[in-house]
Amino acid sequence: MKQIQWFPGHMAKARRLIEEKLPIIDIVYELLDARIPESSRNPMLGDIIKNKPKLVILNKSDLADETKTKEWLLKYEKQGINCIAVNSLTGNALNIVYKKTLEILKPLIEKEAKKGMKARSYRAIVIGIPNVGKSQFINNLAGKNKVKTGNIPGVTKVQSYIKTKKDLLLLDNPGILWPKFENEEVSFNLALLGSIKDDILPLDEVCIYGIKFLAKHYPNKLKERYGITIEGEINPIDIMDQIGLRRGCKISGGEIDYDRVINLFLYDLRNLKLGRITFEDAQDV
């Protein structure tokens, strides 16, 4: 995949808004996609938040390989990074998030208590790349659908505070990607899971990358979903042909309709039809 450069004006504005709000923020919640923890980390974030307390949240953990999520949590713990895994779509994330927040903010809480300050709601800003599930996460913590949600990048456009059932005030923020993806694997991982809009991508290359990865690391998931065989050296085109034949993705003359195969595969991958998958190994990063 050629280098993708994608930095819309609203993302540059979002960065400025974050920098403006940080002085009144107590803690930063950095949401990552549990299926691609490193690929979904914005390398610009450290420069933006500096020494502000931070909690890394592996969101969509219900979609990720459970064993690999535990390995990622252990890796971050060893690096001294505060990290938890949540399923913000159907799980109850509030208690685990609030408990960890109080642990991280303990020095601040004790400092304010010594000054005789009254207990207050703590302010958190929710940051993450597009489509990582920020709005669903906030809705889960708030207990109500107070934030517009969606499964396409770019739904959240403006900042807004949301009150949770506990003493937390959440500041939503538009998703921020970085100006340029230097690493090809990062580009493919983000593209596979819909963090970059499909209409700017070479979807055939994205699909081939995804099929090669699954054929190598999760071959049984491909076999079970599509009833295909994978033998010898991995040939993604052959696998696409088999999927096309099995699912009737053909054009006139009986040839494979690769566009339909690509759309089918990406839909299945993004909607758990292929099961729980993690695209990055904690030991390799």
If one counts the domains in the chain, the total is 2
End-to-end CA gap in the chain: 21
Say whether both 50 and 89 belong to one domain. yes
Q: Among 142, 141, 175, which residue's Cα sits nearest to residue 158? A: 175
**37 contacts: CB under 8 Å, gap ≥ 6:** 58, 72, 280, 282
Alpha-carbon radius of gyration of the chain: 21
pLDDT tens figures, 129-174: 888 888 888 888 888 656 544 454 554 545 567 888 788 888 876 6
CA distance to 85, 133, 142, 241, per residue, from 89 (Å): 12, 8, 12, 35
* pLDDT at res. 159: 56
Domain hosting residue 19, numbered range: 9-172
User: Mean pLDDT in each 10-residue stretch from start to end of the chain (285 residues)?
Assistant: 51 75 92 95 84 95 96 96 89 88 96 92 88 87 63 52 83 66 83 84 92 96 95 94 95 92 96 96 87
Q: What is the pLDDT of residues 82-111, one digit of tens each?
A: 999 999 777 778 889 999 999 999 999 999
Give the CATH number for residue 59: 3.40.50.300
Please give the pLDDT value at position 212: 96
Return the CATH number at 228.
Answer: 1.10.1580.10
Q: What is the pLDDT of residue 140?
A: 87
Beta strands 83-85; 27-33: pairing state? unpaired
Neighbours of 54 (CB within 10 A): 20
In a domain, 3, yes or no: no
pLDDT at 8: 54
User: What's the CA gap between 230 and 220, in Å, rounded?
Assistant: 9
Q: How far, CA to CA in Å, does 204 sit from each of 1, 40, 177, 240, 273? A: 10, 22, 22, 10, 20
Closest to 122 measured CA to CA, from 108, 133, 111, 134: 108
Q: Residue 59 is encoded by which pair of tokens?
A: 């969101």
C-alpha dihedral sign at 70, 78, 178, 147? positive
Strand, coil or helix: what is 13?
Answer: helix
What is the structure's pLDDT at 144? 67
- 209 and 168 in a common domain: no
Residue finishing a domain among 172, 190, 212: 172
| Shared-domain flag, residues 134 and 251 | no
Cα–Cα dist 218/225, whole Å: 11
| Rounded Cα–Cα distance for residues 59 and 40 (Å) | 11
Query: What is the pLDDT at residue 139?
Result: 85
100 — alpha (psi -120 to 50), left (phi > 0) or beta? alpha
- Is 183 a domain residue? no
The pLDDT score that the predictor gives to residue 150 is: 47
Determine how β-strand 54-59 pairs with β-strand 160-163: unpaired
| Claim to verify: residue 156 and residue 18 sit in the same structural domain | yes
